[in-house]
Every structure is written in C-alpha cells, then in structure tokens.
Amino acid sequence: MANLEIDFCGIKSPNPFWLASAPPTNSGYQVQKAFSEGWGGAVWKTIGAPVLNVCNRYGTIDYKGTKIMGLNNVELISDRPIEVNLKEIRETKRLFPKHTVIVSVMVESKKESWQEIIKRIEDTGADGFELNFGCPHGMSERGMGSAMGQVPEYTQMVTEWVMEVAKTPVIVKLTPNITDIVVPARAAVKGGASALSMINTINSIMGVDLDTFTLRPDVGGKGGHGGYAGKAVKPIALNMVSAAASDEVVQKAGLAISGMGGIEDWRDAAEFMLLGATSVQVCTAVMHYGFRVVEDMIDGMSNWMDEKGFKTPADFIGKSLPRISSFGDFDLGFQTVARINQDKCINCNLCYIACNDAAHQCIDMKTMQLDPDQIKMQPVVREEDCVGCDLCSKVCPVDDCISMVQIETGRPHITWNELIKARPEILNDWDKMEEYRKTANIHIH
Amino acid sequence: MAEHYKPVKYKPWEMTLEERFQEYHPALTEREAVLEANRCLYCYDAPCMTACPTSIDIPTFIKKIATGNVKGSARKILEANLLGATCSRVCPVQELCEGACVLNEDEKPIAIGRLQRYSMDYAAERDIKFFKAGESNGFKVAVVGAGPAGLSCAGELAKLGYAVTCYERKAMSGGLDTYGIVVFREPVEISLAEVRMVEELGVTFKNNVSIGKDITMAQLVEQYDSVFVAVGLGNVPSMGVPGEDLEGVVDGLDFIEETKVKKLDEIKHGKRICVIGAGNTGIDCATIARRLGAERVTIIYRRSETEMPAYHFEYQFAMGEGVMFMFLTQPIEIVGENGKVVGIKCVRMDLGEPDHSGRRTPVLVPDSEFVLPCDMVVTAIGQEKHNEMLHALRAFGVKEVKHYISVDDETRRTAHHKIFAGGDCIRHKGEASTVMAVQDGKLAAAGIHKQLAGAGTCSTDKKTVSAPNK
C-alpha cells in the first residue's frame, strides 16, 4: 500500500485529506471523531469575532433526482466562545499529536486583535493557521472575510501582521469572488504567507420558490447571497488552484497549496493534487455522508497510486501542471474527427440533433442495412466537414460509441502565437486570413 | 423477482442446450453498475448490512463502485465473506439485503446481489489476490467437509496463521456450491475458484476421504488442536411409498449434480417428469428438467403455495419456465411397468388444523386417488441427517438438537472443547443457506482462534470518541 504522508510547508500529515473549516470542524468531539475515522487533518471552524446565527442556513441544487450537487450556506464562523474552542483544540492536539490541526482565524481589521488571537491559538499546540479572507456572507458585511480577500492590499497587510508574531505556518485562504486569483495570491506572497488555500465559497442565490416567491435558503421570508460549494464548483476551483500553482511568483516563493471545492472522492482529490495541491480539504461530502467517506478516499487513492507506481503523493503532486498552456500555444494543426461505432449506436440521435442545431451540421441520417432483416436510419459523420468540436461524443449516452480520432490533414503544426508572428497581417484582415486558410488546407463550410 | 432482475431473452426453442444453461442473470455492464451504485443512498448503519448474515459493509462496497475503486470494493466484500462470488449469485437477496433496502418503499431496491457480483467478477478477471497466509502460529486445525462453512472457516484460519487440512468425501471441494446449485445460477467454475483461493492461502485439501472409513473422528481429535465439523446433510430420504426402487426414480440432489459435472447431452431424463417436493431443490430440479428439454414437468406438493418452502421468487421463476404445480396432492405409490416408472399414484388433500410448526396439516380427501402418467420421478423432500457423524460425535459428548449438532451461538463450539461445527448440520431451526454457512465458518474460526491463541477477534485499536453530554 502506498504511503500517503505529506509534508505541507513543514507540517507532516498522515495523509492529504483534511476537513475544511466548516460545520464538520465545529468542535473537539467532531474533529477527534474524524481523526479516529482516518482524516489526516482538520482546519478548525473559524474562530474570532463574536457572532449570532440565523436559520435556515442551507440551500441546495438537486440535479435530476440526485440530492446536493451544490450546497450553499449562510452560517457564520464559530458561534462558540473562543475559550471553549481553544480548550478543545488543545485537547484534540494532545490526543492526536500526529494529525494536523490548523486553526482558521478571522477578527476585525486591527493589528492588535489579529496578533493577540494568533498568540492565544499558538499556545494550544496547533500546527498552523488559516487566515479566513474568503467568507462571503455575514462577515464580509462587517469588513471581514471576503471583504479583506477582495482587496489585495488588505490581504497583504493582515498577512504581514500575522507573520510578525506567528511561529507556526500561516495559510492564506483565498476567495473565488474576484476576477483573477493570481492577484490576491501574490498579495499573500508579499505578506510573507507560508501557504495558500482555495477556494472559499462562491457568492450565490440558490433559487426562488415558485409558489411563495421566497429565496432559498429562506430566512424567515427573506434571503440573500450565501457561499456556494459542492461538486458543482469543482471546475472553478481546479482552474483557480492551477492558476495559483503555475504562477511564477507563487512558485518562486515555494508556497504550498491546500486545494478544495467540490472534492467528493479520491478521484477529485487526485485531480487537485495533479494540478498542484499538496493537501485537499473537504466539507460538502462530509455534510452529506459523514466522516466515513475518508475511508474510500484513502483506499481509492492508495490503490490508484499502486497501479500508477507512485510511492508517495510527492511523486504526483503538480504532475499535470506542465500541461497547462494557453490558447495561443495550442497546436492549430491538431485535428480530430468524430467516428460513430454503428454497432454500439442505439439510435437516440442526440448526436445528430446536437450537431445539426448547435454545431456544424456534419452528421447525416443515412439509411443503413446493419443486419439482413433490418434497414435503419443511422447517424453518420461527414468526416471532411467535421470540425472536431467533440459535442456529439459529449451528448452520446453510450460509452465508447462515438470516439474522436486524430487525423492528419496536412495542416501545418503551428501555434497561434507563432502564426501571428510569421503573418501578422491575418490578425485584422479577413481576406488575408482566407488566403492563409487556403494554403494551410483549412476549409470552413 | 424484482423488476431489475431482467433475465436474458429466453427462447429455449431457439437455443442450444449449452446456451440454456448459461448464467440466468447477465453480468452488469460497467455503465449499469455505476448508475446503480450511484442510486444507492449510502445509508448510515444501513439495514441491508444488518440483514446480511455475514454483515458485509454493503453501502461501502457500493460506494467504491461509484468512485471507480472496484478493487477496494471487492476487498471490502471478501473481508466479510470469503465466498462473496458465490453469495452474490445464490443468496436469496429479496429475503435479505435487498429486502431490507430502504428504497423498497418509494422506488425499487438497489440490485445489491448483482453489484456484488460485478465487483467479484472484476477481481476474478484481473486475478487480484487480496489475502495471504498469516505467519504460522504452530496450531493445526482439521476441517471436515469442504463446503461453504468449511471453506470459510479454513480460509479465515489460514489468514491467522493456522495450518488447516480440509477433509472432503467428494472428488471436488465446494460442497453444494459446486455440486448442488444449478449452473444457470452459479457456474461450477465460480465455486472452484473460491476453493482455489482458500488453497492458495496454504490450506491442504484431502479429497475422496470419508470420516469413519478412511480416518476416524478420534484420530482427528487426537492429531489436531481443533476440529471443525461442517458435513452438511445427506441425500434425499426415502418417501416410504411403494415403487421407489423403479428405474426412473432419482434423488433430486443427484439429478442437480449431474448437470454440474456431466456433459449436458449425456444426462438421461424423461419427457414427462414429476418432482416431489416444493423446496429449493424441487424448484431447481424442475427448472433444469425443463431446460434439459422435458415436455411436461409437474411439482407435486401435499400442502398449498402458502406453506411451500421455496422462496416466492423461485416459485415465479419456475412458473416462468413452464413448470406446473400440483398443490394439495400426496404421492402414495410410484407405478411401474417392466421395472420402469410409468406413473405416480396420488391422492388429493385438504388443509386442516395448524400443526406444531404453525403450518396447516394436510388431510386426505377420501376416494380421490388418481394416477398421473410420467416416465421419471425426482424426489426432493429434504435431506437426511448425517447419522454416522452424529453417532461418532456422541462418543465425544457432543450434544444434539433434533438430530442436528448443538453449538454455542457465539463461537460455534460443541460440548467438546476441541470440536466446533457449522453449516447445514447445525441448522435445526429450518432455513439454511450458503451465506449462513459462511458466517458459521467465520464465527468458528474466531472461536477457535480465541480458544487457541487466546486472542480477541476484533482487535481494532481505534480510539473511541464519545459524544458530549448535551
């Protein structure tokens, strides 16, 4: 069995699976139970300023009969007194010395307040801090959470305050409710952070009740934006993690990244790690099923690592980062066409209608005799017209029925950036573009 | 049978004999398995798990199919039940896990049996070996009878480091899984692969050995630290009616066995067949008779469908196969000509007052005799007890309940400290099944281990966390 231990900016953790700062890490009872079921670490639910909560606190997106594709919440940071939290953190670390306990913090924007609470937390023996610059609801209106994370100068300033007194590693948690994640990530680097974590939840309104016209979640007839999380946000999170992980400033500073956003199982976790996350954090899957989901995360990742020949997570963390490129550097000569396996086709014709109405009209319905006593209309790709967009295989409900096959068309293997360097005239002149297309054997019908 | 148990399109008149004896339920495709696995709610403290005699962690093994960790799924099953491949095919799931599924209320239960088979097939196709023999602890255990209880016990003990020898009277091991379950429910290779898995854990198999003839119980008790007796039951008993020795009268279990070990076209069978008894064996015999090509197959049972021991899904399956049922009918003589069966003489019955088992007693209807012409009679009215074994065990002070071996509920130990027992030979409460036998083997292995190594069985050193007082 593979060794799942990680080293997260000096913090050794038995495995990369951490609970995110959220309701599952609200108390010592919960975190200790989670550790006993296999979680490698936990980020304690944010402690700091005094708060009062409301109800209802959650809204969900249920998709086609499946519950909780996405979960939104308007719950605030810990509503338990700081003393109680500190006592339980100390006790938890004493009972589970090898497990990672990170404490999430959020106080008002005053240097003394931040430095005081950091010192008090450090006294518990916790392994590090996570600065909550991401909470998008309730706290942001009071000038905390995402209100700080959305202003790079604040992010840097508070990080600097904390770094002045912190002896253990400091993780800056970033909000996705910004335009470019790299900007606040660099602000954290400037402030001297030891690591980054992302993404916090996304601003969202979950829906409107069509009978009562109230919002979801419904707080006594009113509603408002809350933080969106769960499987639905995973692609957004993956993009942000990879953007931060491949940023040269972040890389040069050597900051570790803890990735989160929609991680439900070991495969999701592996994807975050391939894109540069050293540890991953989970909340929604635990909110739905309990701490026990970690057993398959450990087992599944370990089996996958054995199969791939990875001895430790370090062997694959960031392995897919070199593949991150941009449009200007893609090969314009890489051409694929769709091929339909007629033996597997079940005649739903979704590929035909998708191609015809929403793509490039290159699938025809043709009369075919597949066996001696049956003549049927089958979808057939006109390969010479297929642009290789891949929509048909995406809508096909049958596994391995439509495959995208690479073909050589004689087009030059050149990137957009190379092309416009060689022929800058095509950038603004359609006639020149047409001329180039002819020479490059590119026909667009 | 639940709706999702769609059988392969069965048109016997268009099929070869071999095709008719293929597995009745097709394997799930990967897509079907993933869709079905995602339908599972992943209940906590799930009723399906409680309903499984071997307590397989069903929600977890299903979740692992959903996450693409099928190898982990297979391991989870086998950790609880070494004969997971057989059980996935032969378990009466409607009565157990699937019957307990919470989705029975609003939609339909998860196809747990077929999902389990999917994971088991995945591991078998890739020849994944999950367990190895434990470091030798110097203890020797004899297992008598290499059926499901014996294999389970032997395998679990081998994992713990015991030197185990299985004594089996038949040429092949696996017991009824190998010889007694119709091939269209479980191909013989599945059972033999399980035997091989146990063999690969270092268990020695001595086949064609009869206790009392080739080796005595006394020798086993002397030579081994513990003996696990899992001899099952015997042949179908005599019905006590005239004509049972006629040519054409066969024991139901022998009939099933022929379809497991012989070439199908070499099996002799009649055209018009009467099967006596409406239990699991009766249903199996009647359906294989149909699939072998018998034109008219009638199950004769002296009570009504309410009292018959076969499961409801078996009854439905048999009717779908074109088997006829003649309830409230009692055979009183097998009629022969020139030494061969030509018919069966029966009387009609009515149901009277309930007997000690709560079932209504059949009462003869006067002057209702009739003869049903047939050319083969298959008897399937239960199994005999192993009287020789019981006799041999009495010498060691082993106690009995209604001619079944009496054991301790927790450890499966008999009154003799070295002798443990499990499987059909202890099942005095009636219903017996493979999965119960597997659990007996597990419990006995734990009992033997506790006694010999003095160790507890569940040495999980997990820290327990108690909820705060509110």
CATH number at B96 reads 1.10.1060.10
Give residue-wise pLDDT tens across range A390-401. Answer: 999 999 999 999
Q: Do A267 and B67 touch (CB under 8 A)?
A: yes
Tell me whether residue B240 is in a domain: no
Separation between Cα atoms, residue B449 and residue B365, nearest integer Å:
57
Same domain, A32 and A66: yes
A372: tokens are 């001696």
A374-383: pLDDT as tens digits: 888 999 999 9
Q: What is the mean pLDDT of residues B181-200?
A: 95
Residues of A taking part in catalysis: 135
For residue B371, list its beta bridge partners: B345
Residue A1 falls inside a structural domain: no
Q: Are residues B298 and B356 in the same domain?
A: yes
pLDDT of residue A370: 75
Chain A CB contacts of B60 below 8 Å? 292, 295-296
Of B100, B125, B150, the last residue of a domain is B125
Flag if A32 and B38 touch (Cβ within 8 Å).
Answer: no
Q: Is B432 a residue whose pLDDT tops 90?
A: no
- The token duo for B341 is 């069966």
Residue where one domain finishes, among candidates A301, A321, A341: A321
For an interface test with B, give the residue of A296, A303, A304, A344 to mutate (most B CBs within 10 A). Answer: A296
Res B1: pLDDT: 35
A301 and A272, same domain (yes or no) = yes
**Minimal Cα–Cα distance from B344 to chain A, Å?**
48
Across the interface, whether the CB atoms of A36 and B463 are under 8 A apart is answered yes
Which residues of chain B neighbour A33 with C-beta distances below 8 Å?
Answer: 465
Lowest mean pLDDT among A233-247, B98-112, B445-459: B445-459
Under an 8 A CB cutoff, do A295 and B462 touch? no
Work out the average pLDDT over A245-272. Answer: 98
Residues B418 and B442 in one domain: yes
The verdict on A82 and A28 lying in the same domain is yes
Indicate whether A445 belongs to any domain. no
CB atoms within 10 A of CB A234: 20
Q: Which residues of B touch A399 (CB under 8 A)?
A: 30-31
Span B280-294, pLDDT tens digits: 999 999 999 999 999
Residues B269 and B218 in one domain: no
pLDDT tens sequence across A151-178: 999 999 999 999 999 999 999 999 999 9
Here the CATH number for the domain that contains residue A147 is 3.20.20.70
Same domain, A118 and A253: yes
Which segment of A133-147, A313-327, B53-67, B431-445 scores lowest on mean pLDDT?
A: A133-147
Return the pLDDT at B9.
63
Over range B39-59, report the average pLDDT.
Answer: 97
* Residue-range definition of the domain harbouring residue B433: 140-234+384-452
Distance between A267 CA and the closest CA of chain B, angstroms = 7
Residues A308 and A372 in one domain: no
Statement to judge: residues A134 and A219 lie in one domain: yes
Q: Does B449 touch chain A (CB under 8 A)?
A: no
Chosen for mutation from A271, A299, A346, A399 (greatest number of chain B CBs closer than 10 Å) is A299
How many domains does the structure of chain B reveal? Answer: 3
Answer yes or no: do B69 and A289 touch at CB < 8 A.
no
pTM metric for this prediction: 0.92
d(CA A149, CA A140): 9
The length of chain B is 470
Give yes or no for residue B383 having a pLDDT over 70.
yes
pLDDT of the residue at B3? 44
Amino acid at A25: T
Distance from CA of A185 to the nearest CA of B (A): 32
Same domain as A219, residue A152: yes
Give the model's pLDDT for residue B254: 95
Q: Give the residue from A303, A344, A346 with the most B CB atoms within 10 Å of its CB, the best one to mutate.
A: A303
- Are A255 and A376 in the same domain? no
Q: What is the pLDDT of residue B464?
A: 41
Q: Classify residue B132: in a domain, yes or no.
A: no
Are both B157 and B203 inside the same structural domain? Answer: yes
Residue B458, pLDDT score: 39
Here the CATH number for the domain that contains residue A383 is 3.30.70.20
For residue B211, list its beta bridge partners. B215
Q: Are residues A275 and A296 both part of a single domain?
A: yes
DSSP H or E segment with residue B324: strand B324-326
Q: Which of B350, B379, B408 is the last residue of a domain?
A: B379
**Confidence band for B460, pLDDT divided at 50, 70 and 90:** very low
B30 touching A, CB under 8 A?
yes
In the stretch 33-92 of chain B, residues with CB closer than 8 A to chain A read 38, 42, 44, 60, 63-64, 66-69, 71-72, 75
Residues of B within 8 A of A300 (CB-CB) are 64, 67-69, 72
In Å, how far is B388's CA from the nearest CA of chain A? 49
Chain B residues whose beta carbon lies within 8 Å of the beta carbon of residue A299? 64, 69, 72, 75
Q: Based on the domain organization, do B375 and B267 belong to the same domain?
A: yes
Q: Residues B392, B217: contact at Cβ < 8 Å?
A: yes
Q: Would you say residue B468 lies in a domain?
A: no
Mean pLDDT value across residues B162-166 = 98
Q: What is the pLDDT of residues B293-335, one digit of tens each?
A: 999 999 999 999 999 999 999 999 999 999 999 999 999 999 9
Considering only residues A293 and A65, tell me which one the structure prediction assigns the higher pLDDT: A293
Residues of A with CB under 8 A from a CB of B: 27, 29, 32-33, 36, 66, 95, 265-267, 289-290, 292-293, 295-296, 299-300, 303-304, 399
Give the best residue of B64, B76, B77, B78 to mutate against chain A (max A CB count within 10 A): B64
In chain A, residues with a C-beta closer than 8 Å to the C-beta of B123 are none
- Distance from the A315 Cα atom to the nearest Cα atom in chain B, whole angstroms: 20
Contacts of B190 (CB under 8 A, 6+ apart): B85, B86, B89, B177
Q: Is B11 within 8 Å of chain A by CB?
A: no
CB contact under 8 A, A399 and B60: no
Q: Which residues of B touch A293 (CB under 8 A)?
A: 63
Provide ipTM, 2 decimals: 0.93
Claim to verify: residue B108 and residue B149 sit in the same structural domain: no
Compare CB distances from B465 to A33, A267, A299 and report the shortest one's residue. Answer: A33
In a domain, residue B100? The reply is yes
Number of domains forming the structure of chain A: 2
Q: Give B72's contacts in chain A (Cβ within 8 Å).
A: 296, 299-300, 303
Residues B150 and B70 in one domain: no
Residue B79 and residue B39 share a domain: yes
Domain of residue B359, CATH code: 3.50.50.60
* pLDDT over 50 at B462, yes or no: no
Mean pLDDT of B229-235: 94
Q: How many angstroms away from the CA of B193 is the closest CA of chain A?
A: 24
Q: What are the structure tokens assigned to B128, written together?
A: 């994944």
Least confidently predicted of A25-34, A131-140, A306-315: A131-140
Print the SS3 string covering chain A: CCCCCEEECCEEECCCEEECCCHHHCCHHHHHHHHHCCCCEEEEEEEECCCCCCCCCEEEEEECCEEEEEEEECCCCCCCCHHHHHHHHHHHHHHCCCCEEEEEEECCCCHHHHHHHHHHHHCCCCCEEEEECCCCCCCHHHCCCHHHHCCHHHHHHHHHHHHHHCCCCEEEECCCCCCCCHHHHHHHHHCCCCEEEECCCEEECCEECCCCCCEECCECCECCCEEEECHHHHHHHHHHHHHHHCCHHHHHHCCEEEEECCCCCHHHHHHHHHCCCCEEEECHHHHHHCCCHHHHHHHHHHHHHHHHCCCCHHHCCCCCHHHCCCHHHCECCCEEEEEECCCCCCCCCHHHHHHHHHCCCCEEEEEEEEECCEEEEEEEECCCCCCCCCHHHHHCCCCCCEEEEEECCCCCCCEHHHHHHHCHHHHCCHHHHHHHHHHCCCCCC
Higher pLDDT, B24 or A255: A255
Q: Do A66 and B31 touch (CB under 8 A)?
A: no
Return the pLDDT at B8: 55
DSSP states of B296-310 as a string?
EEEEE-SS-TTT-SS
What is the rounded CA–CA span in Å between residue B470 and residue B453? Answer: 42
Within a domain: B459? no
Name, in order, each residue with C-beta under 8 angstroms of B379's C-beta and a sequence gap of 6 or more: B236, B239, B244, B249, B250, B251, B252, B276, B277
**B101 in a structural domain:** yes
Return the amino acid letter for A384. Answer: E
Q: Which of A299, A321, A343 is the last residue of a domain?
A: A321
Of B338, B359, B379, which marks where a domain is finished?
Answer: B379
Q: Are residues B358 and B418 in the same domain?
A: no
A128 and A103 housed in the same domain: yes
pLDDT digits (tens, 9 = 90+) for A309-349: 999 999 999 999 999 999 999 999 999 999 999 999 999 99
pLDDT > 70: percent of chain B: 94
**Would B57 be classed as within a structural domain?**
yes
Q: Are residues B224 and B270 in the same domain?
A: no
Tell me the chain A residues in contact with residue B129 when contact means C-beta distances shorter than 8 Å. none
Same domain, B144 and B112: no
**φ, ψ of residue B272 in degrees (nearest 5):** -120, 110
Is some CB atom of chain A closer than 8 A to the CB atom of B458? no
Q: What is the pLDDT of residue B7?
A: 52
Q: Do A317 and A331 belong to one domain?
A: no
Domain boundary among A271, A298, A321: A321
A–B: how many Cβ contacts below 8 A? 47
Question: Domain for residue A444, yes or no?
Answer: no
- Rounded to an integer, the average pLDDT of B386-404 is 93
Q: Are residues A426 and A315 in the same domain?
A: no
Stretch (H or E) spanning B335: strand B329-337
CB contact under 8 A, A36 and B72: no
What is the domain range of residue A390? 327-439
Confidence of residue A442 (pLDDT cuts 50, 70, 90): confident
| Nearest CA distance, B255 vs chain A (angstrom) | 41
Cα B128 from Cα B126, distance rounded (Å): 5
- B271 and B289 share one domain: yes
Q: Which residues, in sequence order, are CB contacts of B258 under 8 Å at separation 6+?
A: B267
How many percent of chain A have pLDDT more than 90? 91
